Structure 1
């Protein structure tokens, strides 16, 4: 069985404070880590910062997201850099801080999460006029993200649930790989991948048909009526990286199905895949 590439979800969010320098440093230390996935959105000044949620308050697995409140996009960079994450001493970093902490042998998947506005069109293949509006809304932030990433010497891939973000990226540069993130509509994800000649597509694990009965227990779809996103993407020459894997049963089922990569919350899930 071929072993998929392992992408550390927010720096292996299951074992470290997600999207922090501490998390990416720890994730990079594992030999199995091919890439580290992070989320970016702007601080009030427009500087790209690495944080997932739109708001600073909230709860993740019983822990407060941060010790602050308010919208990330309305919060100063100085305040964000002092904001502690998930009850730890780790704070919200800038994108530049995170990239400085990643060795060049490890790649980075940069999810374009929000452009600094509250209005998003998530998971949709847009009509031309709306596509242009959304591209223009994303472009200033994407330009700043790309400028920070240009200093990184390792492999980079950009992803987003929003077509406007992918469109803006392709306008700003064609130097980096791109992948639409799929939520509920694999057909829309495949269409976006075609429009921008994306190198990959990132569907949820439930969108992948499993080759054996273990797939259903692993949360992998075996619905014959569904689009076979894995087959179609591979036929078109695109890699398929699946989110989010939390245990070895899921990992094995997805490896058997033939995915190219898994975005995982924990390290070690595929360590002995060839023995199981």
Structure 2
């Protein structure tokens, strides 16, 4: 959908739903959940591009989330899928290269691709950013980063390579480690590896593990980041009852919440963060701090 059309739709959503749901938070006295722009402000600009980071900044959103893959020649790039078909023109530019896997293309080849026209013609100049370009743009806006290591089974050693890029760009210093960086993955062994390589980095395990298994994940994960549809007030309380590797209760970030009703419901569960394609809608749905 065209970015302006999405903006109009979500604004209307906000107004309508605000009439239906009382502006209350079931967590009396609790902190307002952090709002994280999923793949950047991906309802309004092509996901995982610098434009999506810029749009999140324009909306006043501090946190952005992204996905990291690796090219054939070892460059880390920001892209959700392990192939290039959905969000670039790879099929047209490289017609004989099916199935267009990221790992089969060099960084220079990927840099040629249009990563924005699928979303709207005004984004035809958007490119797949390298991780370096991405974190530099996030830094320019003084934002914070929730970084997902995507498909690590396809890219042996990507954990250390990701940390190297972050270190080279100044993201592993004290201020960034204190409250500006989280590294997450669906694979527990990847989260464990990140923790072992750089114990000061805050980490998140994606998924909804059983409460009985939380203690073993809490050795290396600071967060349990889960689909909003798979949690409840009781589950979030159970996660909070477990102490993570840095001596603090485990946190919960819930994804992907894009409307007022769900934002208020999930906030009422006591989650610490909400990941969303429409960060302005979610932010405005939550009670002021």
TM-score normalised to the size of structure 2? 0.73
| 3-state DSSP of counterpart to 1:143 | helix
SS in 2 for 1:7: strand
Measured in 2, the distance between the counterparts of 1:141 and 1:93 equals 17
Give the equivalent residue in structure 2 for 1:243.
Answer: 255
Deviations 1:163-218 (A, max 9, x none): 121122123211210010005x445873553231x2111011012226xxxxxxxx
TM-aligned CA distance change 1:78 to 1:152, over 3 Å: same
Indicate the RMSD between aligned Cα atoms, in angstroms: 2.1
Pick from 48, 52, 70: which aligns with 2:76? 48
- Partner residue of 1:89? 125
Give 5+ residue unaligned stretches, structure 2.
Answer: 1-24, 26-30, 92-99, 118-123, 243-248
Contact kept, 8 Å, 1:186 with 1:229, in 2: the verdict is: no
Question: Partner of 1:123 in structure 2?
Answer: none
C-alpha change, 1:161 and 1:7, in structure 2 (3 Å) is: same
Shift of 1:273: 2.5
Find out whether 1:79 has 2:92 as its counterpart: no
Q: Which has the higher contact order (CA 8 A, sep 6+)?
A: 2
3-state secondary structure, aligned to 2:252: strand
Q: 1:208 aligns with which of 219, 228, 231?
A: 231
> In proportion to residue count, which structure has more helix?
2
For 2:135 and 2:232, locate their aligned partners in 1 and report how far apart those are by CA, in whole Å.
Answer: 35
Structure 2 counterpart of 1:109 = 146
Flag as ranges the 4+ runs of structure 1 deviating above 6 A: none
Match of residue 18 from structure 1: 47
Gaps of 5+ in 1: 59-64, 118-136, 211-227
Contact 1:230 1:240 in 2 (8 A): yes
Could you say which structure has the larger radius of gyration?
Answer: 2
Q: How big is the shift at 1:112?
A: 0.5
In 2, Cα distance between the equivalents of 1:189 and 1:10? 29
1:264 pairs, out of 268, 272, 276, with 276
The one-character-per-residue Cα deviations of 1:246-269 (angstroms, maximum 9, x if unpaired) are 111111111112111000101222
Q: 181, 188, 207: which one pairs with 1:156?
A: 181
Using structure 1 for the length normalisation, give the TM-score.
0.77
2:210 & 2:268 partners in 1: Cα distance? 20
SS, match of residue 41 in structure 1: strand
19 and 179 in structure 1: CA distance in 2 versus 1, 3 angstrom threshold: same
SS in 1 for 2:152: coil
